C-alpha cells in the first residue's frame, strides 16, 4: 500500500545560522551529577570531532554532547524560525569558511540551548570554525499523511520519510524503530508547549531499568517509539498515544536528564505501531 502525503503543497524556504561555540551554563564550571558528585565535562555546542551518528550515546565521558556540528542564529527571532522550520533530514550546505560548499543534513534539535544539529563529512569538520555560516533548505513543516490525518508530523523531511520503510499493518502506521521507550522513563522537557522543536530526555539514572527495557545501547540517530507519549500540542503523558523520535544528543549526568529525543511524529490515538529493527538509524537511512 502506498502511503500518500501532501508534499507537493509544501513550501521550501531558506534558513541560516552559524556554528555555535561551546558554552558553559549559568550553574558555573562544575555540574552536579545525579549521584551527588560533580565534575567538568564537555557539553553543548561547537564541532564535535569524535562523536558521530551510529555511536552509542553512553560511550563517551560527557554531558549533553551534540554529535557533529551545532548551529545557532545570533538573532533570537531568526533562531526561532531556524529551529521551527528546519526538519530532520533537510539538506544543509556550508556557505562560508574553508569548508564552503560542503553538503550535509539536519540530524535533530536541542531544546534549552536551541541548537540545530547537523552531520557533515569527517574531512570537512577539520576545516570548519565556530562562526562559519550554514544554509538549510527547510522543507517538511505542514507535512501530513492522507490516510492517517490523526498522526501529526513534526519536523521531518519527506525524503527521509520515504527511506524509513513505513507500511500499514492492521490499520496502523508501522514504523521501523531501534527501541521502544516506556513513558515513565521520559524526563526533562515534559510539559514543553510544542513538540515541533527541541527535544526531551530519556532519564538514565536507573541503569537496571535501562537494561530491562533494552535501552542500554542506544545510538545517536536511532529512530525510537515513545509509548503513551503525546507530542502533538506539547509534551506529556497520554494513555494510548504514541510518538516517533530521533536520538539527538548524548547521555547526561544531571538528575532527570539523559539522551535527547527530537520527535518527528505523534498521535493521540494508538495508530502508530513500532516494529523493532536494528537498522532504524539516520546513518543507515542517509547512507553515511
pLDDT tens by residue, 221-277: 999 999 999 999 999 999 999 999 999 999 998 888 999 999 999 999 999 999 999
Domains in the chain: ranges and CATH: 10-138 (2.40.10.170), 152-285 (2.102.30.10)
Give the number of other CB atoms < 10 A from CB of residue 49: 12
Q: What is the pLDDT of residue 70?
A: 98
User: What is the pTM for the complete model shown?
Assistant: 0.94
Helix (H) or strand (E) holding 209, with range, is: helix 207-212
Neighbour-count burial for 125-161, b at 16+ CB within 10 Å, e otherwise: beebeeebbbebbbbbbebebeebeebbbbbbbbbbb
pLDDT digits (tens, 9 = 90+) for 22-53: 988 655 566 767 776 767 888 899 999 999 99
Q: What is the pLDDT of residue 259?
A: 97
Cell 564550571, residue located: 29
3-state secondary structure of 258: coil
pLDDT digits (tens, 9 = 90+) for 64-121: 999 999 999 999 999 999 999 999 999 999 999 999 999 999 999 999 999 999 999 9
Among 24, 48, 58, CA closest to 251? 58
pLDDT digits (tens, 9 = 90+) for 110-167: 999 999 999 999 999 999 999 999 999 999 999 999 999 999 999 999 999 999 999 9
Q: What is the pLDDT of residue 224?
A: 98
Query: Which residue blocks in 90-200 are alpha helix, DSSP H?
Result: 122-125, 158-163
Please say if the pLDDT value at position 1 is more than 70.
Answer: no
β-strand 179-181 against 223-230: which pairing, if any? parallel
Cell 551554563, residue located: 25
pLDDT digits (tens, 9 = 90+) for 51-78: 999 999 999 988 999 999 999 999 999 9
CA distance 133 to 129: 9
Burial class (CB in 10 A: 0-12, 13-18, 19+), 20: buried
Residues 191-195 have a mean pLDDT of 84
Q: What is the pLDDT of residue 139?
A: 98
Amino acid at each position: 500500500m502506498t502511503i500518500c502525503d501532501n508534499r507537493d503543497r509544501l513550501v521550501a524556504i531558506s534558513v541560516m545560522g552559524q556554528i555555535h561555540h561551546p558554552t558553559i551554563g549559568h550553574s558555573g564550571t562544575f555540574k552536579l551529577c545525579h549521584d551527588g558528585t560533580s565534575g567538568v565535562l564537555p557539553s553543548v555546542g561547537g564541532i564535535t570531532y569524535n562523536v558521530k551518528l551510529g555511536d552509542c550515546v553512553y560511550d563517551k565521558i560527557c554531558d549533553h554532547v551534540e554529535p557533529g556540528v551545532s548551529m545557532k542564529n545570533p538573532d533570537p527571532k531568526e533562531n526561532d524560525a531556524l529551529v521551527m522550520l528546519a526538519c530532520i533530514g533537510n539538506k544543509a550546505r556550508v556557505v562560508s569558511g574553508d569548508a564552503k560548499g560542503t553538503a550535509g543534513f539536519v540530524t535533530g534539535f536541542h531544546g534549552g540551548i536551541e541548537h540545530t544539529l547537523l552531520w557533515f563529512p569527517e574531512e570537512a569538520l577539520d576545516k570548519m570554525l565556530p562562526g562559519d555560516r550554514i544554509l538549510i533548505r527547510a522543507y517538511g513543516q505542514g507535512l501530513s499523511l492522507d490516510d492517517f490525518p490523526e498522526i501529526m508530523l513534526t519536523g521531518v523531511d519527506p525524503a527521509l520519510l520515504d527511506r524509513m520503510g513505513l507500511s500499514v499493518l492492521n490499520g496502523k502506521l508501522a514504523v521501523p524503530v531501534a527501541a521502544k521507550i516506556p513513558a515513565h522513563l521520559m524526563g526533562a522537557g515534559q510539559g514543553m508547549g510544542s513538540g515541533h522543536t527541541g527535544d526531551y530526555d530519556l532519564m538514565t539514572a536507573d541503569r537496571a531499568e535501562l537494561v530491562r527495557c533494552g535501552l542500554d545501547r542506544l545510538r545517536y540517530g536511532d529512530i525510537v517509539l515513545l509509548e503513551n507519549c503525546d507530542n502533538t500540542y506539547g509534551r506529556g503523558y497520554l494513555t494510548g498515544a504514541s510518538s516517533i523520535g530521533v536520538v539527538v544528543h548524548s547521555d547526561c549526568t544531571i538528575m532527570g536528564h539523559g539522551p535527547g529525543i527530537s520527535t518527528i511524529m505523534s498521535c493521540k490515538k494508538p495508530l502508530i505501531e513500532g516494529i523493532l529493527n536494528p537498522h532504524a538509524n539516520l546513518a543507515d537511512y542517509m547512507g553515511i
